[in-house]
Chain A
Amino acid sequence: MARILVVEDEDNQRLLYRRELEDEGYEVVEASGGRQAVSLIEKGLRPDLVILDISMPDMDGIETLGKILSRDNSIPVILNTAYSTYKDNFMTWSADAYVVKSSDLTELKQKIDEVLKERSGK
């Protein structure tokens, strides 16, 4: 069972992700912000994938992405944001995928599946 770290500052959104992803059979670990996510990785947490919000108050997703990857560049990260503008930002290009938020999680779930498959294939 793949373990997914969900980094998201909105409580309701996090809850939604937990329910939906657990239904898909994933194990979900939550972080309510970038700092907490980095600290979990520093403490040795090795998720099979990270879903990372960009717009967060304590440390934004772009900075968090750099910090996570500098600690372990093999962890797959999917950026998940309400805005498509960040897609052109060079700083987001080291992520494995970029998914614009939607109430329907079908696309996100597909990407998770794709990225995990690609990783296990390597």
Chain B
Amino acid sequence: MQTLALLKGTLAVVLAGGEGQRLYPLTRDRAKPAVPFGGIYRIIDFTLSNCLNSGVRRMVVLSQYKSLSLNRHLSLGWNIFNPELGEFMEVIPPQQRTGARWYAGTADAIFQNIYTLEKIRPERVLVLSGDHIYRMDYLQMLSTHVEKDADLTISFLEVPKAEAGRFGVALVDNDDKVVAFVEKSDNPPEIPGRPGWCLASMGIYAFDTEILVRRVAEDSRKATAHDFGKNVIPDMLERGDRVFCHRFRGIQEPEGKAPYWRDIGLIDAYYDANMDLVDVVPALDLYNRDWPIRTYHEQVPPTKVVRGSNGKDGEVVSSLVADGCIISGGRVEHSVVSPLVTLMDGSVVKDSILMDRVTVGKGARVSKTILDKGVSIPDGVDVSEHKGRFTVSESGVVVIPKGTPPEVFLGR
């Protein structure tokens, strides 16, 4: 099939309704896909950029909880599609046409949007998640889907068996046809010819539209979790639908590094993925101009790193620093710093993530901490001495939520 026809006949449905409870308090005021990432991005920018770069330019984003911040970001940053060329990106909140309820599961999110599919009538639907950090050419997957004449094609990541237990894992035959699919198993099937390795589902699906609609409509009539991995896919295999495996390759991944894909479920996963960007040879290269990740970025002046009134130079070491920051006699080390952050004299920020408009006062110390938007650390405060009042992740990352009053750190 011609590439253009393949792309034009495809609708991407981006599931952006995740409540993200396990990312609390980063998700206290925003949906998971809208959580800031990597200094200037939001998590959803990766999936949307993948669509754009792959040439998939017809997409709907299914929002749900706390969507204000997501909507704002999408309307400011992603209002770039031209309906005259058949391109669009629509943000759809739950329409409740099939009942007054929120989405019960991934398959239910699609079921509740059957009207949208009826209206657009794409030939294929690409089901994507707004919670993943990765770079992927969906065209390769769509080509696999069409070549195999599949009803459903699932994108899989090759992972060591020890890590496979938290994923949906497929058993495939020699033609990469999926013959079994088990969700979160203690003994997941291995890849034929590659002992010790498994195919882990990334939750990325290419469906023939009619099959998708039939299967989610059938699933809607059953008492299930209405989830693709738990219910719909095992059911499709049982009834003999053609389900195929697409092996995820990433985009020009650095030599010797595995294709990069992260599901941002927990604070630690979020923290680690941010820190991955700081590596000298990052596992995820944002500087590859062949596959740009785009976002909304406010017009701000360049970052300035200057000597403070204490006579000490500002210092930035092994870090990502966005525009608009003033580092005046402070030191940033192994951190990700968003726009309009101010670091005052003698302050030290290490192993941390600072979101927009954070201020770190004179002599203050921030280590292994996420400072959400607008947080202000008063002069002389060592944040680690106050971590008892905040969310601390399993690996010890402290999260200071948006709107924390500076007085909290002053013992009042």
Contacts and interface: CB of A to CB of B under 8 A. Distances in A.
Interface in B131-159: none
Contact of A73 (B114, B117, B220): B220
B225 interface: no
User: Interface SS of chain A: helix, strand, loop or mixed?
Assistant: helix
By CB atoms of chain B within 10 A, which of A63, A71, A90, A94 has the most?
A: A90
B118 A91 contact: yes
A69 B213 contact: no
Interface in B81-134: 97-101, 111, 114-115, 117-118
B221 interface: yes
Contact of A94 (B100, B118, B217, B223): B217
B213 A66 contact: no
B213 A93 contact: yes
User: Interface SS of chain B: helix, strand, loop or mixed?
Assistant: helix
Contacts of A70: 98-101
Interface residues of B, number: 18
A69 B115 contact: no
Contacts of B223: 73-74
Given A69-B220, A73-B220, A73-B221, A93 B214 contact: yes
Interface residues of A, number: 14
Contacts of B118: 89-91
Given A66-B98, A69-B98, 16 more contacts: A63-B97, A69-B221, A70-B98, A70-B100, A70-B101, A73-B221, A74-B221, A90-B115, A90-B117, A90-B118, A91-B114, A91-B118, A93-B114, A94-B98, A94-B218, A94-B221
Interface in B194-248: 213-214, 217-218, 220-223
Contacts of A67: 99
Interface string A65-89: 0110111011000000000000001
Nearest to A68: B99
Nearest to B214: A93
A16 B111 CA distance: 35
Contacts of B214: 93
